[in-house]
Amino acid sequence: MGNFPESCELHALAVEGEANWEDTRGQSEEWQLILPRTKLGPHRQHYFQLENVEGTKYTHVRVTIHPDGGLKRARIIGRKALEGLSGQAPGGSESTNEIPAPSVDSIATKRAVPVLPLTPEAFASFGQVIQAYEDHNAVPKGTKITPANAGTASKFHKLSLLTSSYLPNSKATPGLSVYRCQPLQGIEQDRTTVLKVLERHAFTNQAFIPMGPGGGDGLTGPGTSYLVVVAQNGEDDRPDLKTLRAFLASSSQGIVYDTGIWRK
């Protein structure tokens, strides 16, 4: 707290024996980027999906922080590889990442995407996280906080802005709607599920904010979490499945998808 790095990046290496931690491009060893430089926040735990790791073995991982500061710890989650350094890790496979034309309503892929806890930093390339913070030390850098309602509330200013890029004379306007969602079905015994459809809004960003229980006709027995799946737009206005990410949001977190982001 008060000494967090602005950002960090991770490299990994597969080598017999000791690694040369000073040399990023040595003659006999090659450090691979597994987490591009990513912004960090203060006083909380971060979760990031690594890149260039599927079906690949590594023996060493190096964390680089920018420009300075401190980290409490770094944990790398993976599987124990077979003996030696050649070949794929157990269960490794090539990603097929194919989308049957012409619709993305049935996306075929053999790639498994881990579900990570939702944090503003990990979600930054797809949109914004809308939430209050009990501990003001954990608020993302640059967020303005002021007391409100005679000191009985804290206001976290402009966590996201409303945007609209509809064409003139389209007679289209942004609006506020409410979704009544059913619980996610089809979860397998190994806690996986199949992604069957993605959609996007090409002219506006889109916000989802959970609604708690209420009296009268309000919700009864609301859920405590929800699944967020996102991808960047790729060629021919189709999802770029290399950027596919999944997050588990709590009922205290809302999200805003940036304009044009594919989402489930």
Q: Report the Cα–Cα distance between both ends of the chain, in Å, rounded.
A: 34
Q: What residue ranges do the domains of the chain occupy?
A: 1-92, 95-133+160-264
Task: Tell me the pLDDT of the chain averaged across its residues.
Answer: 82
Mean pLDDT of 59-67: 92
CA distance 255 to 144: 18
CA distance 136 to 1: 11
64 with 6: CB under 8 angstroms?
A: no
Is pLDDT of 192 > 50? yes
pLDDT on residue 178:
74
pTM (predicted TM-score): 0.73
SS3 content of the chain, % helix, strand, coil (to 5): 5, 25, 70
pLDDT on residue 181:
78
106 with 198: CB under 8 angstroms?
A: no
CATH of 95-133+160-264, one of 2.60.40, 1.10.3470, 3.30.300, 2.60.120: 2.60.120
pLDDT on residue 219:
63
Mean pLDDT of 194-209: 89
pLDDT on residue 25:
54
Taking Cα atoms as reference points, which of 229, 232, 243 lies closest to residue 193?
A: 229
Residue 245 CA to its chain's centroid (Å): 5
Structure confidence by residue, pLDDT tens digits, 75-124: 999 888 876 545 443 333 333 333 333 344 444 446 788 899 999 999 99
